[in-house]
Amino acid sequence: MVFVKTHDISELTSELIGKEVVLGGWIEDLRKLGKMSFITLRDVSGISQVIVKGELNDNLGEINRQSVVSVKGIVQETKARDFAFEIKAEEIDVLGKAIHPLPVDPIGRVESNIDTRLNHRALDMRNQKTASIFKLRHHVLQSLRKTLAEKKFIEITTPKIIGSASEGGANLFSLEYFGKKAYLAQSPQLYKEQMTIGLERVFEISNFYRAENSHTGRHLSEFTSIDIEAAFMDYNDVMDVLESLVMDVYKFTAENCKKEQEVIGHTIEVPKSPFEKVTYNQCIDELKSAGEKIEFGDDLLDSHLRIIGDNHPGFFFLTDWPMKLKPFYIREKDEDPELSRSFDLQYGYLELSSGGTRLHNPEMLKARLKEQDLDPAQFTDHLKAFDWGMPPHSGWGMGLDRLMTTLIGIDNVREVVLYPRDPDRLSP
């Protein structure tokens, strides 16, 4: 049995013609034509054709499509249009049998609905479109980390099991923790703010949890968040960081993920920069002009955001929200304390990120907690840090899953998450 690969399929070159290689992958297609068989072999890097002749062909037996095999053979030129080279097989070993019927067709000839694909996600990953989405997600993560490191942000990992809410009481999953009540973190908010004391600029890319009973294409119970927090920056500075991060992700993937774009059937268009900044007050005016009954201080509903999104397609910042609509840690504007130094990054109607300048005066922070019916005693550990020399700081959180949907032009986050969690889906 041979299972040590000498090459990935994409590594086959004309220099290898006449040489022996060992490939490993799965059988995408197998055609027996009497004295000969043609196998289409796929691995993560590409596809190749394997020619099986003579005694090897006579003894080939039944091998189901999608079974994993290793093939030892000689590289040769091919007349087949779809392949760069072919392999004349000398030895074929079945390493992992695929038992038919399979629950989804990874070739995509028979289309399966998203639920069926998610229920059999590992096999769905042999569908080239699905694999391309997750290769793209990998490149997005690489790009984000590269840009943030260049901007001197230090990557941190904060706890996901916590003793009190980070974002206030709503939407918390609770669990039993050795006889005590614990929660799953909704965001790294408090920890990332605290870390600016010693690390100044931090970022985290992790999963966070929201017990939101929402059944939409953009809400998950477990989502991946990209979070930053930066000392000595205000909300305009962190908006700049966010914009350059998004621009870099688009440029990097547009340039380096040509094959993935082709397979997905979507061309990544690098957006225009700078992104427009639209204030909350401007939105209220636009909504009134569109005939909506809305006043300063009202939250923007989905229906409102659809109107605003139509007026401002693509990326734009929605800034200067009323203080009363913002979480306790957001700071007011000096010139108008009813307004906050805050923003959302929108992609049309879709909210991708929110952030702002933080309150860093502990007394004001305590007052804001009370204003929002939160108990400062629950935040003792956090508030302590504000007496140890807390720098002024700002930050934001962005949903990676939502960002991915903008990149590939789809409207369901479940397509870009390996094993999505939502109110109806807890396994696999």
Binding site for ligand AMO (CB under 6 A): 167, 187, 189, 210, 212, 219-220, 223, 225, 227, 351-355, 395-399, 401-402
Closest CA to 153 of 216, 84, 237: 237
Strands 276-279 and 315-319: parallel
Closer residue to ligand AMO (CB): 167 or 332: 167
Note whether 67 and 94 are within 8 A (CB): yes
User: Can you read off the two tokens belonging to residue 420?
Assistant: 């999505």
**Alpha carbon 19 to chain centroid, angstroms:** 41
Question: Alpha-carbon distance 218 to 226, whole Å?
Answer: 16
Q: How far is the CB of 183 from ligand AMO (least distance, A)?
A: 14
Which C-beta is closer to ligand AMO: that of 108 or that of 271?
271
**Least distance to ligand AMO, CB of residue 326, Å:** 9
Measured from the CB atom, is 124 or 351 closer to ligand AMO? Answer: 351
Minimum distance from CB of 394 to ligand AMO (Å)? 9
Q: For the chain, report the end-to-end CA distance as a whole number of angstroms.
A: 33
Indicate the helix (H) or strand (E) that contains 133.
Answer: helix 128-150
Q: How far is the CB of 232 from ligand AMO (least distance, A)?
A: 16
In whole angstroms, the minimum distance from the beta carbon of 182 to ligand AMO comes to 19
Q: Which is nearer to ligand AMO, 85 or 235 (CB)?
A: 235
Task: Name the residue type at position 139.
Answer: H
User: Which residue's CB is nearer to ligand AMO, number 64 or number 378?
Assistant: 378
Residue 28 is encoded by which pair of tokens? 């995408």
Which two structure tokens, joined as six digits, stand for 307? 């109107």
Give the shortest CB-180-to-ligand AMO separation in angstroms.
24
Distance, in Å, from the CA atom of 18 to the CA atom of 21, rounded to the nearest integer, reads: 10
User: Nearer to ligand AMO by C-beta: 70 or 166?
Assistant: 166
215: buried, middle or exposed (CB in 10 Å: 19+, 13-18, 0-12)?
A: exposed
Q: What residue number has its CB nearest to ligand AMO?
A: 399
